[in-house]
Structure 1
């Protein structure tokens, strides 16, 4: 992949956050379109794509995130922009590695959440209906209970 930079030559890494079904992947597409479809979207979910089919294995979630983090590091090292991290990022610490990578390679960081009404209203039933990967309502409710509203630099959780 060749170097891709945003229109003002500023490298940017977007950290998306939101529960399954909230509209993160749609937001990622919108961001990509705003950058002329340059850059890359990285998601731990991609690790579970086998021949175009999603085959989730909870025992491999750690591997999936390490794979995604390494992919991010490789893209940032090459200067690809934008880099869009399309993960739930329920807790602040989950995005820490991406922040460190971005800062190391001189990227601006922007944290974004979907603007969908069901996400703004934190509607777990609607999220469960909207999720592309069949995440059960009970799991979504648990993630919502753990959700960090404060995603600032000072939050160490």
Structure 2
């Protein structure tokens, strides 16, 4: 997944998983660095922990593909190529087909305002604009 906070990445993942055929309950794992910031059910972002939590998320992702879970999703913002290169390389090394799913257009000012308004972690517009400015198109 790729997109600004509040763009709808997690919603897209939930809708996608719910759209899968119910008769063959496909095993899946969603790996999101945000999960590590929850303490007693409350989101508590701490920039000092970000690097460590990203590494823990990548480790969890690699563990899932090593265990041959059929569908493994990285639900992070992934604004720059380097942020998701290791996920892609790990998945491809285990024979997985990789799909990059971008939600919204990070450089679009209206989209940035929408994301600032609806993101559930209260990321301010200033931070969203800063993230959008480092966005690198996939390709």
Give TM-score, length-normalised by structure 2. 0.89
SS of equivalent to 1:40: strand
Question: Structure 1 residue 32 and structure 2 residue 20: aligned?
Answer: no
Asked whether the 8 Å contact 1:32–1:38 carries over to 2, the reply is no
Task: Report how many aligned residue pairs link the two structures.
Answer: 134
After superposition, residues 142-153 of structure 1 pair within 5 angstroms as 142-149=130-137, 151-152=138-139
Aligned residue for 1:85?
A: 74
Relative to the length of structure 1, the TM-score reads 0.79
Q: Distance in 2 between matches of 1:80 and 1:34?
A: 18
Instruction: Show CA shifts across 1:80-128 (max 9, x none).
Output: 121111000000111011011101211000000225xx86945222110
Tell me the distance in 2 between the aligned counterparts of 1:120 and 1:140: 10
Q: Quote the offset at 1:40 in angstroms.
A: 1.3
The residue aligned with 1:132 is 120
Q: Does 1:58 align with 2:47?
A: yes
Q: Is the 8 A contact 1:119 1:127 kept in 2?
A: no
Gaps of 5+ in 1: 1-15, 153-157
- In 1: Cα distance, 2:19 partner to 2:93 partner: 25
CA distance in 2, matches of 1:138, 1:71: 31
- In structure 2, relative to structure 1, the CA distance for the partners of 1:59 and 1:120 (3 Å cut) is closer
- Counterpart Cα distance in 2 of 1:81 and 1:120: 33
Equivalent residue for 2:60? 71
Shift >4 Å, 4+ stretches: 118-122
